[in-house]
Amino acid sequence: MLGLTSSSIFASHGNFAALLALGAPSLAHLRPLDIAVIAIYFVMVVWIGFYLKNRANTSEEFFMAGREMTAWIAGLSFVSANLGALELMGWAGSAYQYGILAAHWYWVGAIPAMLFLGMVMMPFYYVCKTHSVPGYLKLRYGQGASVVAAFSFAFMTVLMSGVNMFSMALVMKVVLGWDMNFSIIVSSLAVAAYVYLGGLRSAIFNEVLQFVLIWGGALLVPILGLVEAGGWSGFKAKLAHNIAIGVTAPGDYTHMWRSMGHFADNPMGIHWTGILLGLGFAISFGYWTTDFLVVQRVLAANSLRSARMAPVIGSFFKMAVPFIVILPGLLALVVLKNPDGSLMHLVGENQVSALNPHSYNEVLPLMLVRYCAPGLLGLGITALIAGFMSGMAGNVSAFSAVWTYDIYQPLLVKKAKDEHYVAVGRLATILGVVISIFAAYTVMHAKGIMDYVQALFSFFISPLLGVVLMGMFWKRATKSGGFWGLLTGTLTSIGLWAWVHFYPAALRFVAISPDAKAMAEDMYRALWSVIVSVLVTFAVSLCGKPRPAAELDGLVYGATKLPQEEPVPFYKNEWFWTGLAVVGLIALNVYFW
């Protein structure tokens, strides 16, 4: 969830680094059974890569998994590509710190966008047979916008892969005491092997495997946590008691919207408009509908109906993820204890000390260690490793496709045999891993870069949303409109970020309140950049000559005749499940209002 990543997640690196500096002992000690569980996972992923080697011979097979994925596999892979271990640990920490507000990133900050992708946008992506999101831009707006999007995506993708790699090494060092070089080398070799051999199909298989492992490894924690806390009502009673006697910071930890009336009323410093329009629209639609890392998984579906169903299926699992991420963070508020029996206090980035050695972001490993016996602990650690490796593999496979189709083919070697592009894709996989390793070591030696990576990513995603939406739903949008919309939207995002970075008081203008905090800035900055990109695309397009409607077939709403799908019983219909997902989303928000 790169586009949705909160600053607190990236701050986790500071916490872990601080812990390392303190020379604290590792959190967990693995037994031989745990080591066996982890080793079996590595054997399995490499086995899958070798098994799929012979099914990645053509470019369609290597880059698009042969477009043979069922709705379930594409859907699980879609949601799994976003479920990295850093996200799990970071959001569990955010739940400990901010309460159930953190679930906004999983519900309103994801579900509407996923359903919109499936039901509204997917037909255009799928019918035009594009290999990537920059590929769609090329078909709709021409080479200029496509190349800009391709280069920015390729650069950010390998950078994020490196960040992921570094994060894993750091977490393994803190949690298990493993050498960082060992973690980086082993994980990158495994990822390089299975993506090089099996392409996207291998990455998708491993993502589905990872998804199952995460649930198998992490689900036990909230179950046992609830047992210990005396159920949800018992948890609330204990929390209220802790707040009353002053051992837990006061706040509303169990409601999502009640404290959103004003920026100053909640610890995140966000207003409900920021959550709804900034997070729920600008950021989440930007990420879930235009980030090729996740869209690529759905493009690999075996039919239009599967491609539409995949994000809908994914949305149900996404709605359930807070059970294994947010709930453990909340439960930790009442169950985590020091050896002397007193309530353990996890602290923020700059407060880690010998007295309070654990930070918010360690809450998930601490809960794992608390409940998991040998074997189960290995399973939990394997889930974290699988999450990290899956994130790397997702980035590398997406990089390989964009490099080959949107940079190498249009700019370097326009016409070559299919085998040539497969070979280039395989080499791009290795190149992607090598650059990721380089990025990981760069981040290791200059940790300040971490703060900028997230900002860099946000510069491109939201403006891209504005341009893609205008291109997909407005026939009048022109090539120049798309290019200038993308450029000015990106510059707006960069400009607003720089304004606040160099003049922090500007936050009150960007986030329209003097009480706003950093998270609110991310949301409003994304919203302004979408608005600017839409307005500029609109204005410039009005001054130009639109493309003939015949050229827009398969690309634009109103100019495309979508293929008729065979009628199916209601329980197989994507609109039925979309309706259920909407009802579920509303019910959750009302229950935790």
- Contacts with other proteins by CB under 8 A lie at 33, 36-37, 40-41, 44, 47-48, 51, 55, 68-70, 73, 205, 208-209, 212-213, 216, 220, 224, 227-228, 335, 369-376, 379
Q: Which is nearer to other proteins, 35 or 412 (CB)?
A: 35
- In the complex, minimum distance from the CB of residue 375 to other proteins, in angstroms, rounded to a whole number: 4
- In the complex, minimum distance from the CB of residue 423 to other proteins, in angstroms, rounded to a whole number: 23
Q: Which is nearer to other proteins, 246 or 339 (CB)?
A: 339
Q: Which is nearer to other proteins, 223 or 539 (CB)?
A: 223
- In the complex, minimum distance from the CB of residue 44 to other proteins, in angstroms, rounded to a whole number: 5
Q: Which is nearer to other proteins, 169 or 372 (CB)?
A: 372
- In the complex, minimum distance from the CB of residue 76 to other proteins, in angstroms, rounded to a whole number: 9
Q: Which is nearer to other proteins, 135 or 329 (CB)?
A: 329
Give CA separation, 256 vs 181, 271, 293, 495, 517, in Å: 41, 12, 29, 31, 17
Q: Which is nearer to other proteins, 210 or 513 (CB)?
A: 210
- In the complex, minimum distance from the CB of residue 119 to other proteins, in angstroms, rounded to a whole number: 24
Per-residue tokens: 166: 């570094």
Q: Which is nearer to other proteins, 243 or 369 (CB)?
A: 369
Give the separation between CA 40 and CA 506, rounded to whole angstroms: 52
- In the complex, minimum distance from the CB of residue 228 to other proteins, in angstroms, rounded to a whole number: 6
Give the separation between CA 124 and CA 107, rounded to whole angstroms: 25
Q: Which is nearer to other proteins, 56 or 102 (CB)?
A: 56
Q: Which is nearer to other proteins, 365 or 471 (CB)?
A: 365
Q: What is the DSSP letter of 415?
A: S
- In the complex, minimum distance from the CB of residue 498 to other proteins, in angstroms, rounded to a whole number: 45
Give the separation between CA 168 and CA 411, rounded to whole angstroms: 35
Q: Which long-range contacts (CB under 8 A, 24 or more apart) does 419-425 make?
A: 419/57, 421/59, 422/56, 422/57, 422/58, 422/59, 422/62, 425/59, 425/62, 425/63, 425/199, 425/400, 425/401
**Rounded to the nearest 10 degrees, how much is the dihedral formed by the CA atoms of 21, 23, 26, 27?**
-70
- The residue with tokens 């050695």 is 357
Question: What is the DSSP code string of 140-206?
Answer: HH-HHHHHHHHHHHHHHHHHHHHHHHHHHHHHHHHHH---HHHHHHHHHHHHHHHHHHHHHHHHHHH
- Residue 382 · residue 213 · CB < 8 Å: yes
Q: What phi and psi, each to the nearest 5 degrees, are found at residue 558?
A: 95, -20
- In the complex, minimum distance from the CB of residue 60 to other proteins, in angstroms, rounded to a whole number: 14
- In the complex, minimum distance from the CB of residue 294 to other proteins, in angstroms, rounded to a whole number: 18
Give CA separation, 369 vs 98, 177, 221, 393, in Å: 23, 14, 10, 27
Give the separation between CA 86 and CA 5, rounded to whole angstroms: 9
Q: Which is nearer to other proteins, 78 or 403 (CB)?
A: 78
- In the complex, minimum distance from the CB of residue 80 to other proteins, in angstroms, rounded to a whole number: 12
Per-residue tokens: 380: 């939990």
Evaluate the CA torsion angle 200, 202, 203, 204 in order and state its sign: positive
* Residues 6 or more apart in contact with residue 310 via CB below 8 angstroms: 69, 71, 72, 74, 75, 78, 118, 297, 298, 301
- In the complex, minimum distance from the CB of residue 339 to other proteins, in angstroms, rounded to a whole number: 11
- The residue with tokens 């970071």 is 90
Helix (H) and strand (E) counts for the chain? Answer: 26, 0
Q: Which is nearer to other proteins, 239 or 367 (CB)?
A: 367
Give the separation between CA 572 and CA 551, rounded to whole angstroms: 34
